[in-house]
Amino acid sequence: MELSMDWKTVVDEAPVAMIIINSRGQVVYVNKVLLERSGLSFEEATKHPEKFFPPEDFEKLFQYVLETFLKKRKNPDPAITIRGLSATEGEVWLEARARYAEIGGEPYCLLAYTDVNQRVRLQKQVESLNEYLKFLNSMLRHDILNIFTRMQAYCELLEEEFKPEYLEKIKESIESGVRLIHKIRELESSTTEDKKSYRLSEVIKEVSKGFDVKVNLKGDAVITANDGIYSVFENLIGNAVKHGGATEVSVEVRDEGDHCEVIFRDNGRGIPEEIREKVFEKGFTTGRGSGLGLYIVKKLIESYGGDIELLEGKGAAFVIRLPKSQPSGLDSSEKPSR
């Protein structure tokens, strides 16, 4: 049955994206808002609606629509939150509400989408901040308290007998505390700092100046991050030198369309097989550090929408995937400031 012009007009004038689906699961009409956001033609949107959603979200939506028909649900609650694909914005978060309706005696499902990108982004930010606060509380109660306890013990020994090694131990404890605070600050940047465009080649060159190691750099990309991106490479190169005994590091940046891959390798001792699955865990250490370096690297990269994983091979090897910055980012002559 053909939809009446009245229904098409109502749907077209809606300020949100809308779809009308018949009882056979076919999309029979979509409004202009949806076409503008998706970048699909009317024919594509009605014949191939799956193009507007990632596969798992389309399946979730299908089940939601099916349930609406089975229950003849006329109340548009509960809503579901899914991801959509926009020609202009990429992946967007949407809230979908379905309502059962009979038009000309035939059953239909009216599906409306509202943009909840901002709400989801804020929810994720709150979750990230809560995780950081829990982590900070744990650090204050355990690691920093342990440092103060060691310092107090050596101070008490000094009161009884002066020995230079006691002073040295106190200095080491202070330095350990300072390093720990710096690590906490690095992690904090993943949750609080605004993001901007950075040219990876400039970041890596700047970081490599602080290490006595040869860094071979190939390729380049502009990404969206914050100053924590420096900490990513400081930790990777620092680990290669201090824990792996590396004298040479290679960093290759590959263009992969909407994202880039950074292949990091060193000629050091590498990471033992028995601990490879644990290196990104919070607090994991072989006894020579805080156990935060690679955990912070992982959290920072994830906060930029990327991921990191270990690669096989000699020495330590990682692949980092990061979304590339939009064309409005840095031009070829610009250099990020730290």
* Sequence spans of domains, the chain: 5-115, 118-192, 194-331
Query: Average of pLDDT values for 14-31?
Result: 89
Fold of 118-192: Helix Hairpins (1.10.287)
* CA-to-CA dists, residue 195 to 174, 191, 226, 259, angstroms: 32, 10, 5, 16
The neighbouring-strand residues paired with 319 are 263, 309
Provide the percentage of residues in the chain whose pLDDT is more than 90: 29
Name the architecture of domain 194-331: 2-Layer Sandwich (3.30)
Asked if residues 295 and 283 have their Cβ atoms less than 8 Å apart, the reply is: yes
pLDDT at position 329, please? 45
pLDDT at position 338, please? 54
Asked if residues 220 and 199 have their Cβ atoms less than 8 Å apart, the reply is: yes
Token readout for 193 is 């700092």
Beta carbons within 8 Å of 82's beta carbon, 6+ residues apart: 53, 57, 60, 61, 93, 94, 96
Token readout for 201 is 């080649």
Q: Residue 211: helix, strand or coil by DSSP?
A: coil
Token readout for 74 is 């006329």
Looking at per-residue pLDDT, the higher value among 273 and 183 belongs to 273
Tens digit of each residue's pLDDT (9 = 90 or more) over 49-84: 888 888 999 999 999 999 999 888 887 678 999 998
Q: Report the interhelical angle of 228-242 vs 164-192 (nearest 10°).
A: 140
Nearest alpha-carbon partner for 338 in 180, 209, 177, 183? 209
Looking at per-residue pLDDT, the higher value among 67 and 136 belongs to 67
CATH for 5-115 is 3.30.450.20
Beta carbons within 8 Å of 255's beta carbon, 6+ residues apart: 219, 221, 324
pLDDT at position 233, please? 93
pLDDT at position 250, please? 96
Least confident range of 6-20, 116-130, 280-294, 311-325: 280-294
Query: Average of pLDDT values for 98-105?
Result: 87
